[in-house]
Amino acid sequence: MKLMSFTYQGGRHAGVVEGGQVFPVGLINARHGTNYPDSVLGLIEAGIQAMPVAGVEALPLSAVSPALPYDHPPKIWCIGLNYLSHAEDIQAVQPEEPGSFMKPASCLFPPGGDIVLPPPEISDDVDAEGELGVVIGRTCRFVPVEHVREVIYGYTVTLDLTALDVLRKNTRYLTRSKSIDTFFSFGPVIVTADEIGDVDGLEVITEHNGGVCSRDFVRHMRTRPLELVRFHSDFMTLQPGDLISTGCPKGARIKAGDGVGGRIEGVGHITARVTQGLRKPVY
């Protein structure tokens, strides 16, 4: 099942995506007498893996505006330098264990929306990275390797951004360099795990101005998705809706006016426009 959150006629809803159409959850409930939550996070929390769409009136995807699947993931984990090519691109050494860091929900922007670059005096060297995102489906801790698949709800595509010049000043500035407003997005579709037969065979692509910036297969990650889930469950309780963004082969250096995106066949496609922000106090 492919899920998305969207806005239509002033309301925000969840729906099932099939064949270039979206079947709103509200109409599924009305047609089949069900009571599914009308939010993607609610569906994940309820463990809903399939919904009937037969006889349900669909909306063309062109008629709706994609939104973030949900606005406040409980946790956003990202994995740095998980591909050797990315480490080489920024002249860094891959860590022995997952180079994980967290991002705040305040840095989220909607898929298809605008990346707003910070004023140049804050950063003028930013890259964008298309990545595979793992969506946790149930509360778990200390998950044995043989049970990891049971706690994964599905997969999505993410865009993770970095202020590289901030990071170059000091590696301890990693969280700051990753947390600027509009430095993360995911979606617009979440695909349930049963639709992905071979996660390691997925190819992760970062697009830049209509071309391919980088591409590589999940099997070439230093730490692959299932192990990332097991590893992080040793350190904390994972919750439904948590995201683990698994890393990028190489980021695209971006500037105002660019277009950037991430694509994973069978999972989805996320895009963004790049604009220049100004120093505009808000208080």
> Nearest-CA neighbor of 159 among 104, 205, 91, 98?
205
Share of the chain above pLDDT 70, in %: 99
- 84 has a pLDDT exceeding 80: no
- 7 has a pLDDT exceeding 90: yes
Is pTM beyond 0.75 here?
A: yes
> How many Å apart are CA 125 and CA 134, to the nearest integer?
28
Q: What is the pLDDT of residue 162?
A: 96
Tokens 């105002």 locate to 256
- 37 has a pLDDT exceeding 90: yes
Beta carbons of 78 and 99 less than 8 angstroms apart: no
To the nearest whole number, what is the mean pLDDT of the chain?
A: 95
From the number of C-beta atoms within 10 Å of its C-beta (0-12, 13-18, 19+), residue 41 rates as buried
- Taking residues 152-168, report their average pLDDT: 97
List pLDDT tens digits, range 181-239: 999 999 999 999 999 999 999 999 999 999 999 999 999 999 999 999 999 999 999 99
List pLDDT tens digits, range 245-272: 999 988 999 999 999 999 999 999 999 9
In the structure, what pLDDT confidence band is assigned to residue 93 with cuts at 50, 70 and 90? confident
Chosen CATH of 76-276 out of 3.30.2350.10, 3.90.850.10, 1.10.3720.10, 1.10.1760.20: 3.90.850.10
Identify which has the larger pLDDT, 109 or 86.
Answer: 109
Domain range summary for the chain, segments of one domain joined by +: 2-67, 76-276
Q: What is the pLDDT of residue 95?
A: 80
In the structure, what pLDDT confidence band is assigned to residue 79 with cuts at 50, 70 and 90? very high
- Taking residues 135-162, report their average pLDDT: 98
In the structure, what pLDDT confidence band is assigned to residue 96 with cuts at 50, 70 and 90? confident
> Nearest-CA neighbor of 216 among 71, 83, 68?
83
